[in-house]
Structure 1
Amino acid sequence: MRNKTLHLILQSLFLGIAGMIVIFCFFIFLGIAPFGNRSLVVADANIQYLDFFSYLKDIFSGKNSLNYSFSNSLGGSSIILLSYYLSSPVNLLVVFFSKSSLNSFYDLAVAIKLALSIATFSYYLRVRFKNKLRTIFIILLSLCYGFMQYNIAQSNNIMWLDGVYMLPLILLGVWQVSRGKSSCILAISLGLSLIFNWYTGIINGLFSCFWLLFEIALSPENTPVKHQLRSFAKKIGIFVIWSFLGLMLSACLLLPTIYALKNGARGAFDWSLLKNAFNGSFLTTIEKYSIGTSSTIDGVALYCGSLPIVAVFASILSHKVTIRKKIVILTMTTIVLAIIYWLPFSLLFSLMKQVDSYWYRYSYVASFFLIFVAAEYFSNLHFDKEDLMDIIKGCFSFAAIIILLYQFKNYITINQLKATLITVIITTFLLLLSISLKNSKLKKLVTVGLIFSVIFELGLNAKQLWLISTNPDISYYKGYVSHQQKQIDALKKYDSSNYRILQTSSRQKTKDNLTANYNEALAFNYWSPAGYVSNMNPKQLELLSLLGHRTEQERMSIVNSPVLASDSLLGVKYILSDYKINGLHKVRSIKKVNGKTVYKNPYYLPMAFTNPMNIAANLNTWNTFEYTNSFYTELAGKKLDLYEPVRYTTRTNPNGTISYTLNSKNKKSLQLYGNIIWSQSNNGNQINVNNVYSTGYAKWLSPSLFYIPTGNGQQQVTINTNIQQSAIKTQQFYSLNLQKLKKITREIQQKSQKLSFKNGNIRGAIYSKENTYLYSTISVERGWTVKVNGKVIHPQVFAGTFMKLPIKAGNNKISMTYKTPYLGLGIIVSILSIILIIIYLIVIKKYINKL
């Protein structure tokens, strides 16, 4: 039995390797790295994931930490980064690549995950259908699964592909349970799926519940109803037990992840989305089963080759397939389509969150079902004349329906329609020949032709999608990363103290000077207020927003323009800028790279300082300028107006847009800032800031508060917009008095405390002549153990999130240690699950086999 299982595994791995060779051929043909200058790294992969993989490299080399990292916005646990983006075993290969060659790593990782999908689906078919399914169909259907539309389209969301190659193993375990057997493979595969990526792991777990009912219905028992109900209850019980063991196995990551998600900015479920409505039409699914199509909100694209769809139609039309089996399959088809289109099910499989991009992230489960139906059909064929006619009817029925649907509403182009019809007819023709020919040599030749035909049509689909969604030139990335790392390393050598860095320009910008690249602190291992992950710290976001760095969809803070008084509060000591900033000092010993010069902020506040004032800095206003004034007033213990309103005039242009003219005193001791509050957003909105820089505004990724550079001798400042006056609520223009800022910040800098800051570990000693407070720009979070003179204390909060410790007169020993909440408990639960599974395999299973 073990030898047979090993043989099946080796056969499946061999097919996976063959699939990898096919993928590499695609890469070579399309010029995709590591075989060319193109890359699958686009969209979020380019915006986020490359920086995350750079961060992972630093973790492996000991330069950064997963437990807690100051590179993660204002600092925090990175458990979400690990469990959502980085925990796939394929990511271990990142150690063999330099940061500048991560495009090649990414493309290779995609290829491996597609090959694993082929291998695991092949193993599923070999075990699930035993000797009933011919080898040629195992090969072809496995290729269809590995190269399905979802895998190609989601190549830029690499973490979701782990769920694809784990699904066949999970559903293999479900099949075993449906036969009344215990299933270690269900527990292990479900647990690993949740560990590799909790998002798709949960999707797989949800779908497995429906699949169990489907498998039970597909193979009914010929026993009395009473016995069937007892058997059904037993199977449900077995499923619950082994699924629960799988959850326990994943607890090492799942428990701390659930805690982090619950306390994140997007932790609440979107119950308002729960409506009895549909996203689109079921019929769209058929028309979109075409080469080169993509999923949109009104229709899912499930293309996975001609073979599965022809077999599905043939199965429906065949007289050999029993009415009962047709009803079961059509019922499951309705459920699968409901998962796609019916809002309650769609919301469930979107994990109760609003989805506004990458539509139907779980649609691979629908493709799995489609290919499974094809496998079920082919496994019961006798390949007689009636079977051949069913296949022909299936082919032309699909062709007729897609042509008919095309006449009513064009979700596809005429070229996509033609390509789909031609490949369907050719593949069907070769299929018919391969199963009807008697001559063995000719049969083998046609069979080889059938394999190449399937590879060709899947490759044609991949070509259409990858050419649209690939980065055509990765050489810029290599140069940018290499130069930027050198600049950061030079800055750390120049100043080895604790501080944060802000930059006005990143690796990527839109045409209107906006960016979503806010993870370069993670990529290059420095500390910054910027960050962009799916689950940000809500208190940090709230503070950053109030300090002038607007929050975008609870995922990021728009930190691309200096707000000097605010950034100083956050410990920003250096700014990498592509334009000069009044009041900052250029660091001449560090070279300008990627268009950015290093400027020192002389007004920065240390990341740890003492102050006898009991500062609260409560977030009690929406006005950044007023809040900053009140913050510094509390720090100084006296009234401070760092910001003062600037007089301005408005002009409404003939086209309804608005412009502003500010009366600038043009003093070196002043900085100017603007904030236009909008009531409506528009993708075309822009502002021109004093003819120094332009930026998109009142739109996705745009800032709200912005810095206004001024030139020598300039008496007036102009802000021109193309924003309609009706879209603007109000506007604010303020000047920042740098002399006042300098005075208060110098006083605080003298109270700086030299603590040793390391990720998740802070140590130091403080001597104070009087009772005072230690203020630190470290967020108060569960996970910190804070001790003063060996005694555990609960830190107080100021500014809504930062840490404040009461310090008594005399010598004080400070220690702060961070441990990811529930990580230890999760590890214990996972170990317990492993022990239980081992006990079953060694003891219980042997005992059952003896009975």
Structure 2
Amino acid sequence: MIRFFKKHAPLLLSFFAPIIIMGSYFAIRHMFPFGNSSLLTVDLGQQYIDFYAFFRDTILHHPDQILYSFSKAIGGDMLGVWAYYLMSPFNLLLLLTPGKWLTFGVMLMTLLKYGSSGLTFAILLKKTKVQTKWGIPTFAISYALMGWLVANQLNVMWLDAAVFLPLVVLGIEKIFSGKSYLFYSFLLGCTLVINYYMGYMICLFLITYMFWASFRHWSGWQKLLTAWRKLIVGSLLGAGLAAALLLPTFYALTQSKAKYTLTHFKWQFEYSPLKMLSKFVVGAFNFDQMPTGYPNIFVGSLVLLGFVLYFLSHQISWRERLSALVVSCFFFFSLCLQPLDLVWHAMQFPIWYPYRFSFVICFWLVWLAAIALKANRKLTSWQIGVLALLLIGFDGYVYFHLDRFNFLKPSQLLLTVLFGFLALIFLALRQRVRLTNRYFGLIFVSFTIIEMSTNAYLSLNQISYVSQSDYANYTAELVKVVKRVKSQNKTNDFYRLEKTFMRTKNDSMEANYNSASHFSSTFEAKIPNFMGRLGQPAGDGFITYSNGTLFTDAFLGMKYYLDAKPESKSSATVLPPLTDKPDLAFYREIGQDRLTKTYQNNYALPFGFAASNKILEPIKNNHYPTLYQSTILNHLMGSTQYTSLFMAQQFATVTYHNVRQDKAPLTETYKKIDKKKNGTITYRFTPTTSDPYYLTIGSNLNSKAVSFTVNNHPLQQYDTFRDTVIVDLAAAEQNQPVTLTITLKQPEVWLQNFQLYHFNTAALNQATQTLQAHPWRLTRNSNTHLTGKITIPHRKQVMMTTIPAAKGWHLRVDGHPKKFKQVLGSLIAIPLSKGSHTVSLAYWPPYLTLGLIISSLSALIDLLVLLSLKIRHH
């Protein structure tokens, strides 16, 4: 055992040092189980943690959710979600951490990725003999704790890229040394499977790396052409190995993220390139750097000096250094020139987390530094002078521009100066004093650990985190109530559930139920578009079902609603409020506990039902939600006379305080008289019936422009919406005065689409009874297979569903393949003849079969090559 540790000490230190460093920090910050904090912050707390709960549920209980899930909004393909978020092998750790321990599982996974990044870089250094002994952990730790990895530790699914990049590069080095492409091909395939997005960036980097490696390993045209032939074949087969996931994912992207691809750009710098120097200062990070910031490229003083020394070293051929300079210039401009930045991000500006590809540049800096500090064992006086001048110039620039960087303090710059000149002194003294290489190796490792730890601690101290209790208590309550609802339904029943509180838009994935809310980067664009037309807050990649009306709840099959008890003092802290929903008065209360009440919606329509074939006709006037909802109901019923669900109503009185209306005719723009004082508009009316009363507001009326109160209570409204939304204002309040107050937060506000409506409950009641009469009675209900029987009573009818139309659905009617119709721009409707029918829908992702064939053929070719190599060696 002792012999093993001695032999592999550099690799073990490269693995365990980052884990111990970051684990100690997490313990100091009281991350669970060391306290009541957690790693959850920003998207990790609002998105990924729910996907990890979904991962556990899928692997352990519902494997069909790998392909499709009705927990993704009203239903959606899941391969794209898995390919982007959930294919990391490290995720298997989460199977050991259920419930409240899931946050601990995320911490373990994060720590292992830190450690594995150091280990794989150490393996690269050892196998290529670029560094030996203590030089290995010195550079491996710099890589594992680079600024990109620390700043993006919350984007856990990206961190695998840092783990696999050194191994893929090792595969290239093996090819240039005359070995087979199999190692490279296999690792490239794994990288693309684990995260195709970061894998795309790695592929771009590999093109530049191969260019440089061609000069580094130059030994004649014949050997170079042989190497490039292996690289091309290995790259194609590596992509082929991943085709089973890449092809259906690419198709899914054409329905979602690819719709936002930019084709026009400007040849301009995104910021002054010199500002990039600020990111080499220790702890150069804060929250503001997440949405918009400079590249996170901190790699430590030793690496930075080593990188410069690479180009000053005569022990390295001029050909190699010149090609490295070309590549380095390309990387430099990629970090600040708009078109190159777009190319790295697949022609889409990133929403938050800019310069996501900078991990490959950190790798490049560390790799060249490791090469330089092996080749250039002893610094000459002129090299020391050049490095010293560069340090002075760098520190001087940051010092004189310190006020321009809100993420830097003088103490950070002072630390950077100290680390920089200490590193230079150590490099200058190496081989000039009588200390052995072993002691200098220990000095460099210790120095690197101290500097990289300091950067990590200072950087992460700028971020706030979700408390463990906030996550655990909310999740426990939600899971408990959902289980209680499920216990009241048969196995084959299909229904959706929503609530008036929310922790994230992916709560349904956390607690495994069908809903209408969702947030992911691979969300199909047509579903948010459809929900936006219905009056829900929606955008590129998300839906928040917070503004349901009696009609949308019925149409989408919202059979159950969870409501936080207003009288419970702890409910608001455990269950963050999302929306006010007075029309719950029209639903039947079926249960309650200390924090919540559960309601059943008797208006809810079945998953599939007989409806008029008039629904097949396109709805032209779909830009105003009240009109759109009424038209959908009329088309479902096949009405010959139009029935409106929403009847416009005037407010009884309007009172202005420090506000005047713009004098232009028919304007809805209001201005403060005295801009320094509050301005309010107060509307009053008294409901003449117990029906719901809804208010429409335009997308500009967010919390930055106005605030609303109803009877002196703040109105709960989700704040991000791009379409006109419908606000639930009052219900079951006949003859009770309602006062709506709008407080202007800006000097001038346009009350866009501001209108009060009285809801026609009688019309909805009559319609839902008719539409509920002939349901699709499911005999099989899973995420990918739905089978049931339905009776169509009239000739001009269809089976209407609220299943999103997608190419992957395959329809059989009475055992025969049929084509379905897409209605409302998004949903499945099935033309059927009069009578009883057995209708089956099965989901299989488009291009998955082709992908499986290509992956199988690629694996077979690799296997045959491997066998031939073994036979040849024998």
How does the TM-score come out when normalised to structure 1?
0.90
* Of 545, 550, 563, the match for 1:577: 563
- Contact 1:697/1:703 (8 A) holds in 2: no
* Of 261, 264, 269, the match for 2:261: 269
Shift of 1:570: 0.9
- Residue 654, structure 1, aligned to residue 658, structure 2: yes
Aligned partners of 2:537, 2:619: CA distance in 1, in Å?
Answer: 15
Aligned twin of 1:479: 473
Helix, strand or coil at the partner of 2:114:
helix
Quickly say closer, same or farther: Cα 1:556–1:678, change in 2 above 3 A.
closer
Aligned partners of 2:581, 2:857: CA distance in 1, in Å?
Answer: 59
1:343-393 CA distance string (max 9 Å, x none): 22111110111223101111001101111111111120233xx45873575
- Residue 836, structure 1, aligned to residue 861, structure 2: yes
How is 1:739-818 mapped onto 2 (pairs within 5 angstroms)? 739-756=762-779, 757-771=781-795, 772-818=797-843
Aligned partners of 2:8, 2:724: CA distance in 1, in Å?
Answer: 54
Aligned partners of 1:728, 1:137: CA distance in 2, in Å?
Answer: 66
Q: 2:143 is aligned with what amino acid?
A: Y
- Contact 1:583/1:738 (8 A) holds in 2: no
Aligned partners of 1:380, 1:426: CA distance in 2, in Å?
Answer: 21
Quickly say closer, same or farther: Cα 1:292–1:543, change in 2 above 3 A.
same
How is 1:432-471 mapped onto 2 (pairs within 5 angstroms)? 435-440=431-436, 444=438, 447-471=441-465
- Contact 1:310/1:391 (8 A) holds in 2: no
Aligned twin of 2:570: none
How does the TM-score come out when normalised to structure 2?
0.88
Aligned twin of 1:357: 352
Shift of 1:422: 1.8
RMSD: 2.9
Shift of 1:9: 8.8
Aligned twin of 1:672: 693
Shift of 1:753: 2.8
Aligned partners of 2:717, 2:31: CA distance in 1, in Å?
Answer: 32
- Contact 2:588/2:602 (8 A) holds in 1: no
Aligned partners of 2:111, 2:268: CA distance in 1, in Å?
Answer: 38
* Of 376, 394, 397, the match for 1:401: 394
Aligned twin of 1:566: 552
Aligned residues: 821
Q: 2:391 is aligned with what amino acid?
A: F
- Contact 1:669/1:739 (8 A) holds in 2: no
Quickly say closer, same or farther: Cα 1:706–1:139, change in 2 above 3 A.
same
**Aligned-pair identity (%):** 24
Moved more, 443-452 or 233-242: 443-452
Quickly say closer, same or farther: Cα 1:567–1:606, change in 2 above 3 A.
same
Shift of 1:19: 3.5
- Contact 2:50/2:507 (8 A) holds in 1: yes
* Of 510, 514, 534, the match for 1:527: 514
Helix, strand or coil at the partner of 1:609:
strand
Helix, strand or coil at the partner of 1:838:
helix
Moved more, 669-678 or 388-397: 388-397
Q: 1:643 is aligned with what amino acid?
A: F
- Contact 2:240/2:858 (8 A) holds in 1: yes
Aligned partners of 1:196, 1:835: CA distance in 2, in Å?
Answer: 21
Helix, strand or coil at the partner of 1:236:
helix
Shift of 1:549: 0.7
Aligned twin of 1:58: 57
Shift of 1:619: 3.9
Aligned twin of 1:250: 242
Moved more, 315-324 or 357-366: 315-324
Moved more, 389-398 or 838-847: 389-398
Shift of 1:685: 4.3
Aligned partners of 2:101, 2:71: CA distance in 1, in Å?
Answer: 22
- Residue 148, structure 1, aligned to residue 146, structure 2: yes
- Contact 1:681/1:699 (8 A) holds in 2: yes
Shift of 1:10: 9.4
- Residue 704, structure 1, aligned to residue 725, structure 2: yes
- Contact 1:671/1:735 (8 A) holds in 2: yes
Aligned twin of 2:575: none
* Of 526, 543, 546, the match for 1:557: 543
Shift of 1:708: 1.0
Aligned partners of 2:11, 2:753: CA distance in 1, in Å?
Answer: 64
1:682-737 CA distance string (max 9 Å, x none): 74643334433334677569983321136564234314132544444442321212
Aligned partners of 1:650, 1:617: CA distance in 2, in Å?
Answer: 41
Quickly say closer, same or farther: Cα 1:823–1:334, change in 2 above 3 A.
same
- Contact 1:761/1:815 (8 A) holds in 2: yes
Quickly say closer, same or farther: Cα 1:587–1:464, change in 2 above 3 A.
farther
Aligned partners of 2:152, 2:389: CA distance in 1, in Å?
Answer: 30
Q: 1:59 is aligned with what amino acid?
A: T
Q: 2:51 is aligned with what amino acid?
A: F
1:736-775 CA distance string (max 9 Å, x none): 1222212211222222232243211111223445444211
- Contact 1:684/1:696 (8 A) holds in 2: no
- Residue 632, structure 1, aligned to residue 633, structure 2: yes
Quickly say closer, same or farther: Cα 1:391–1:90, change in 2 above 3 A.
farther
- Contact 1:586/1:598 (8 A) holds in 2: no
Shift of 1:167: 0.9
Aligned partners of 2:228, 2:522: CA distance in 1, in Å?
Answer: 35
Aligned partners of 1:74, 1:254: CA distance in 2, in Å?
Answer: 24
Quickly say closer, same or farther: Cα 1:354–1:315, change in 2 above 3 A.
closer
Q: 1:642 is aligned with what amino acid?
A: L
Moved more, 115-124 or 178-187: 178-187
Helix, strand or coil at the partner of 1:670:
coil
